[in-house]
Structure 1
Amino acid sequence: MVQLVESIKILNGRCYNLSLHEARANRSRKELFHLDTPIHLKYFIDIPEAFQHGLVKCRIVYDTNVRQVTYHEYAVRNIQALKLINSDHINYHHKFVERSELDHLFSQKGDCDEIIIVKHGWVTDAFYYNLVFEKNGRFYTPLHPLLPGVQRQKLLNIGHISAIAIHHDNIQEYDQVHLINSLTTLHQITLKTNQIRM
């Protein structure tokens, strides 16, 4: 049976975007295992004293039920260069623990720190992140990411970003690109688009 994972942000003992994580987990359980009864991740989170302060990743592995919960200190990565990688066959609609296809793409990054995955000419995601492109102070995320993340969904819900199709030929029309995930918010990892190697 395949296993999936949710990585939840905990900052100073508080969980963030838990309802969005639960919604995604329950969508995956319904689509993959045909389960209609939801699981409530909050009942599986018991933050140890050692992780009550600072930024922490709570990693929940599940299939039909929750199988493992672990906690790790988290630091935002220092990313200076992105490599554009083409893959027309990549498929990652659910947040699987096993991600060998993505690992293979990431292994092609050379001396860059991260990759941007292009599918049929359209920008999708980075390896660990969703993408937000900035132009004239406005923010745009690719319309069809490989995996819609919770941070991306939160920003869409509040109208802070817009989802549009972004072709790889048009990347340089944008000023900057922001990398976001459940533990990395907008503006924490920002690169000029000329730091993307084609």
Structure 2
Amino acid sequence: MCHYIESICIEKGQIQNLSFHNKRFNTTRKELFGSSTFINLENYINAETHFERTKCRVIYDQEIIDVSYQPYKLPSINNLSLVFDNEINYKYKSTDRNRINQLFDLRNDADDILIVKNGLVTDTSFCNIALWSGMEWETPAKPLLKGTRREQLLGDYTIKERNIYLEDIYTYNRIRLFNAMIQFGEIDLMINKFTLKNTIHINS
């Protein structure tokens, strides 16, 4: 059975972006299970004892099933393999990552993948992205998953939504990867033939 996940960053004993996690968590419960009871994740998370960056993983369906904690190390990402898949769907953050994992396994010698769906750039295997236009940071308007940090960055006008077509990607000069655990700017790559490599079509 498929369950759903909130991956929450704890740092210096504080839960990061709690309101955005609560919103997505309760929206998922309502849309998939018809649950209208609000649950505050803060009541289920022991943050005070975690001072280093820690990944809190909440597994749930209609109710919370499990809460676990793991020290987090920033991954080393230096290049991405372009993968085309027009059928992939990951609207809800779930434990079923089979399709994403299949695409990730095709990356050859790249560190991660950048998924293109119907001609539009979306996400990597575990991050939302933003690209620098020379004037502003633009993020795909149709990501696979609307991440909590993405929502926070949109809310404070750090990034702006736009449909980003693959043929336009080299008009940008930098790409940033981010998610609940990775701060905006911690993974920042120049866009060139060395950072975007290979082209793999699954279905198109």
Q: What TM-score results when the alignment is normalised by the length of structure 1?
A: 0.96
Structure 1 runs not aligned, ≥5 long:
none
Quote the Cα distance in structure 2 between the aligned partners of 1:188 and 1:173.
Answer: 22
The correspondence of residues 29-48 of structure 1 with structure 2, limited to 5 A, is 29-47=29-47
What residue is the counterpart of 2:157 in the other structure? Answer: 159
Gaps of 5+ in 2: 200-204
What is the CA–CA distance in structure 1 between the aligned matches of 2:108 and 2:28, rounded to whole Å? 33
Q: CA deviation at 1:160?
A: 1.0
Alignment of 1:17-32 (within 5 A): 17-32=17-32
User: Separation in 2 of the partners of 1:160 and 1:119?
Assistant: 25
Q: Measure the CA separation in 2 of the matches of 1:73 and 1:46.
A: 14
CA deviations 1:137-159 (Å, max 9, x no partner) are: 41000000000001111010011
Q: How does 1:55-66 map to 2 (within 5 A)?
A: 55-66=53-64
Residue type matched to 2:94 in 1? F
1:134 is matched with which residue?
A: 132
How is 1:1-198 mapped onto 2 (pairs within 5 angstroms)?
A: 1-47=1-47, 49=49, 52-194=50-192, 195-197=195-197, 198=199
Question: What is the CA distance between 1:47 and its match in structure 2?
Answer: 3.3
1:54-110 Cα distance to aligned partner (Å, 9 max, x none): 111111001011111011100111111101100000000000011101111111111
Deviations 1:110-167 (A, max 9, x none): 1101111000000011101000101214100000000000111101001111000000
CA RMSD of the aligned region, Å? 1.1
- Equivalent residues of 2:148, 2:179 under 8 A apart: yes
- TM (normalized to structure 2)? 0.93
Tell me, in whole angstroms, the C-alpha distance in 2 between the residues paired with 1:121 and 1:176: 20
Separation (CA, whole Å) in 1 of partners of 2:159 and 2:111: 25
Count residues with an aligned counterpart.
Answer: 196
**Percent identity (aligned):** 35
Distance 1:185 1:163 in 2: 18
SS of match in other structure, 2:81: strand
| Displaced runs of 4 or more, over 3 A | none
